[in-house]
Structure 1
Amino acid sequence: MTSSYRQFCPVAMAAEILSKRWTLLVLRELIAGSTRFNDLRRGVPRMSPTLLSARLKELEAAGILRMLPDSAGPGLNEYHLTESGRDLAAVIEAVGIWGQRWIEADLSLDNLDPALLMWDMRRNLNTSPLPDTRSVINFIYSDLPDSQKNWWLIVEPTGSVDLCYIDPGFEVDLFVTSDLRSMTAIWLGLSTVGKAVAEDKVYLDGDQAISSHMQQWLGLSHFADEPKRAG
């Protein structure tokens, strides 16, 4: 193997599998619960489908995941972590905590991606403060082109949450207008909804009960409670 570190050290051996570009992010998505190819793609939107497929095959060959037929239809697959893969959850957690603590906030906020931000919001959204009826929340990113400006979160009474980038046609309960940087800062725990509203960085228009509890229901980063130490 030409790319081998040629060291028996367990760190070197693990790095040969885990240090390839995108691999840790694919693992992050698998650990977060994504099992289907299209869902994995939404978690790594800038990764090409070809490279994602290659990384999944490499992880399967390493015994970190197994590919199983998807009951949704013939020719479709699901990807499930093995015991070895699940054991990497603590590794991904530790890397994320280190990044939240020690990567400067400005550097984090230089890497903005509305698709990833909204996908993570959908995944982490806390439905308990929301009404028992369908809630439709339209996020409007004022600094983005029209093709990326509007995103809809649809929260059903059952607790399921859907994300749309095409108008779903439902009446909107709350409009949230912001620039992408400000909303990303809230998601990372670097700011709060209240502070951003007070600074005129976020504008809320609609259902008062939903808007007043936004900080509670908004799906924040898993690492948002970890205080920054950099800088």
Structure 2
Amino acid sequence: MGSSYRQFCPVAKAMELLDERWTLLVVRELVSGSQRFNELRRGLPRMSPSLLSRRLHQLVRAGVVQRHVVGNDVRYVLTRAGHELRPVVEALGAWGIRWVGELGDEDLDPKLLLWDMHRNVDHAAVPDGRTVVHFRFRDVPADLRDWWLVITGGEADVCDADPGHAVAVTVTGSLRGLVEVWRGDLTWPEALRGGVVQVSGPETLRRALPGWFTLSGFAAVPRPTSPA
């Protein structure tokens, strides 16, 4: 845990734990349902494994997380104290999407976008069997350009290499454009009409695609009509 603020204020005491770099984002991932180390890494692709281990150890020591080990399966599970941080994370996210400025290019990450999309699939809306969605981002380096989302049996998986299955639909566009759709800054119809995103495949699947995802939990947050 970081150095003390030397204040009795409960905000100060809470921030002694939570304001260290990446800590609250680790909590965000745990609140979102990630439990295994590799799941947490995929939700925090720019965080080093050693720092993630350190932050998890701090959260365990603080009683926010419990480490469960069954054989080779290690999971990090929120305690009651950890679950009580959910409204804190949600309030911060809602405030951030309302009041923090535009995204910089360095904020755009296809790994995080696809990981977030995979856990927000509306499986009841996706056709039965295996459905593969190919995403191609035309404005990123070649090694990050192509991604596949494989949806089957109530589960979804993200692949950065062709899984070899037939593709149902292909989504092509700018990374920024799809991030803006995901965040609710731009609607699917606006993105499609403006050419920011194109969807190719059978017409019924093209039309259905937007309904396969529930979008980010912050997409529906009302935005201010003018600066404060």
Question: Which category describes the TM-score, using the shorter chain as reference length?
Answer: over 0.9
In the aligned structure 2, how far is the partner of 1:137 from the partner of 1:2? 43
In the aligned structure 2, how far is the partner of 1:126 from the partner of 1:110? 29
Aligned counterpart for 2:206 among listed residues 207, 211, 215: 211
Whether the 8 Å CA contact 2:2–2:17 is kept in 1: the answer is no
1:179 aligned onto 2:190? no
| Map of 2:79 onto structure 1 | 82
Secondary structure in 1 aligned to 2:103? helix
In the aligned structure 1, how far is the partner of 2:2 from the partner of 2:205? 56
**Partner AA of 1:56 in structure 2:** L
Q: Which has the higher contact order (CA 8 A, sep 6+)?
A: 1
Q: TM-score, normalising length from structure 2?
A: 0.94
In the aligned structure 2, how far is the partner of 1:2 from the partner of 1:103? 26
Task: Give the CA deviation at 1:196.
Answer: 1.0
Aligned counterpart for 1:116 among listed residues 112, 116, 122: 112
In the aligned structure 2, how far is the partner of 1:108 from the partner of 1:65? 32
| Map of 2:151 onto structure 1 | 155
Cα RMSD for the two superposed structures: 1.6
**Partner AA of 1:95 in structure 2:** L
| Map of 1:198 onto structure 2 | 193
Q: Work out the percentage of aligned pairs sharing the same amino acid.
A: 45
Whether the 8 Å CA contact 2:132–2:148 is kept in 1: the answer is yes
- Which is worse superposed, 200-209 or 180-189? 200-209
| Map of 1:221 onto structure 2 | 216
Task: Give the CA deviation at 1:2.
Answer: 7.7
Give structure 1 stretches of 5+ with no counterpart.
Answer: none
In the aligned structure 1, how far is the partner of 2:103 from the partner of 2:36? 31
Whether the 8 Å CA contact 2:2–2:16 is kept in 1: the answer is no
Whether the 8 Å CA contact 1:109–1:184 is kept in 2: the answer is no
**Partner AA of 1:206 in structure 2:** G
In the aligned structure 2, how far is the partner of 1:2 from the partner of 1:41? 22
Task: Give the CA deviation at 1:209.
Answer: 2.0
| Map of 1:102 onto structure 2 | 99
Give structure 2 stretches of 5+ with no counterpart.
Answer: none
